[in-house]
Structure 1
């Protein structure tokens, strides 16, 4: 983990303004999307273009290449999880999200994806646990408090969230 990324996350944790939160998230994404290796950056770009074109098989192939060449990069796992998710392969997506989070536990993109899958699968308690992890990263994420409240109510936990 880099000092720059650690600083961005420290600032994100303290941020309260939606504009500041968005700017910090964008800076973190830029950090994650730049591997510093041209061939990996090109594969990442190609995979993201394939995702946009809804060619999930091609996207997965590009992200497989990144994972094989640089398994330590969380974003390769996260992007492949996205492709699996969009293809409806939720268990494969959850497996890749776990791998991404093992490499970068603060990966809010992977956590949001994990939350959405768990929500879709009706795993309310686990989904709430993910929302609580997101809260520890940045309590000011848009809509987070409302989602936490909704999921606590579903579980019969009507206590207010601090």
Structure 2
């Protein structure tokens, strides 16, 4: 089974008026992204998350960087590192990693949302709106993105 035959029905389900269907599709897409590199890749992402939860941020960053260097096409490793950078106020570094995720996986609504958050933190509200609108094209019922777009629009007026 090719990737499109897995992903396309999930993308369609994200547009469903039924919240349960949307939630299911969202979870399945996250599972797909986390599992892109099999069990070993998933374990490395889980290990990095455990390090973050233990407050070992530098070790988590080092692990994710190692994973990225070994498997530069592993979009979720880039995304996890972007989240780490964002949490530590390193918005430009987070943005750079989010951009890489979106290059690897243009439908990655998580990275597009992350780009929006980074742009908001950097005060670039127009760019934030663009990123969040791209995320809404994929996940039209994402209330958080809708709310952020309204807040950014208010900042611009």
> Residues 60 and 17 of structure 1: is their aligned pair in 2 closer, same or farther, counting only changes over 3 Å?
same
Which is bigger in relative contact order (C-alpha 8 A, separation at least 6)?
1
Distance 2:104 2:33 in 1: 12
**Is 1:18–1:142's contact at 8 Å kept on the other side of the alignment?**
no
In structure 1, what is the equivalent of residue 47 of structure 2? 46
TM-superposition CA deviations, 1:22-73 (whole Å, max 9, x none)? 2211111011111343332221110111122232211112211221221111
Provide the C-alpha distance between the structure 2 equivalents of 1:100 and 1:38, rounded to a whole number of angstroms: 20
Q: How many residues align?
A: 155
Q: 2:13 aligns with which of 11, 14, 19?
A: 11
CA distance in 1, matches of 2:116, 2:108: 12
- Mark the runs of 5 or more structure 2 residues left unpaired by the alignment: none
User: Residue 37 of structure 2 contacts residue 74 of structure 2 at CA under 8 Å; is this kept in 1?
Assistant: no
More helix, by proportion: 2
How far residue 96 of structure 1 moved from its aligned partner, in angstroms, is: 0.8
TM-score normalised by length of structure 2? 0.88
Residue 110 (structure 1) aligns with: 111
SS at structure 2 position matched to 1:48: helix
Question: Which stretch of the first structure deviates more once superposed, 106-115 or 144-153?
Answer: 144-153
* Partner deviation per Cα, 1:112-154 (whole Å, 9 max, x = no partner): 1111111111111011111210121121112333333333333
Q: Give the Cα separation in 2 of the matches to 1:66 and 1:118.
A: 26
TM-score under structure 1 normalisation?
A: 0.85
- Provide the C-alpha distance between the structure 2 equivalents of 1:18 and 1:54, rounded to a whole number of angstroms: 35
**Cα RMSD, aligned residues only:** 1.8
